[in-house]
Amino acid sequence: MEAYDSDEQLERLKAWWNKYGNALIVGIVLGVMVLVGVKYWLRHRTLSSDAASSLYDVMLGELAQKNTTAAAQDGQLLISHYSATPYAGDAALILARISLDAGDIKAAREHLQWAMNHAADSGMRNAARLRLARILMQEGKLNAALKLADSKDRDGFASDYDELRGDIFAAQGKKAEARQAYGAALAELGSGAPYARVLRMKLDDLGPEAAK
């Protein structure tokens, strides 16, 4: 009877294996592949971050030595090979500064646009957007600059955006809108902040009605 039960259990096991064995093997293999893949990805990300950090340090050293050509080359490497790291956004802002200093406005705009769209850090994206808007404003492209200044992504930069909006409105001759924007920037910054004096001066420059 025990032998019969053993044979029956064996037959059931064989039937179960024939039905589910392949799926079980595939599941195990996939699980191992996922585990290995995750470990590889984490290791790759760590190595990429370390390499990007080292290259960024080299770039800063080159800038300190006023070797802008080498710094620009390393900045491009950071963007092309390590775009997912925070250092790429920093590099794009630096490249924009180098381009501006060289009088290449078009290249500066392109670097800032890249940082605005791809930088890993929201602070970098906001800094790039504000700088790009300033360039557009200086070029007389006030509507395009205002579109950037009206961004909803203002985390930590609300006062900067409102000051920019005030500058654009002032350039457009829209004094009422400029007063409102400068007032909002001042309220967000706080009247006791050192830069508040600049905002009050901008308000005063709009005329008597701006005096608070």
Distances (CA, A) of 81 to 48, 77, 78, 88: 9, 6, 5, 9
How much of the chain is helix, strand and coil, in % rounded to 5?
Answer: 80, 0, 20
Q: What is the pLDDT of residue 175?
A: 95
Q: How far from 71 is each of 9, 11, 56, 59, 80, CA to CA, in Å?
A: 73, 72, 9, 5, 14
What's the pLDDT tens digit per position in 109-148? 999 999 999 998 899 999 999 999 999 999 999 999 999 9
Answer yes or no: pTM beyond 0.85: no
User: pLDDT of 13-42, one tens digit each?
Assistant: 556 556 555 655 555 555 545 554 544 444
Distance CA 121, CA 189 (A): 22
CATH number of the structural domain 59-153: 1.25.40
Outline which parts of the chain fall under CATH 1.25.40. Answer: 59-153
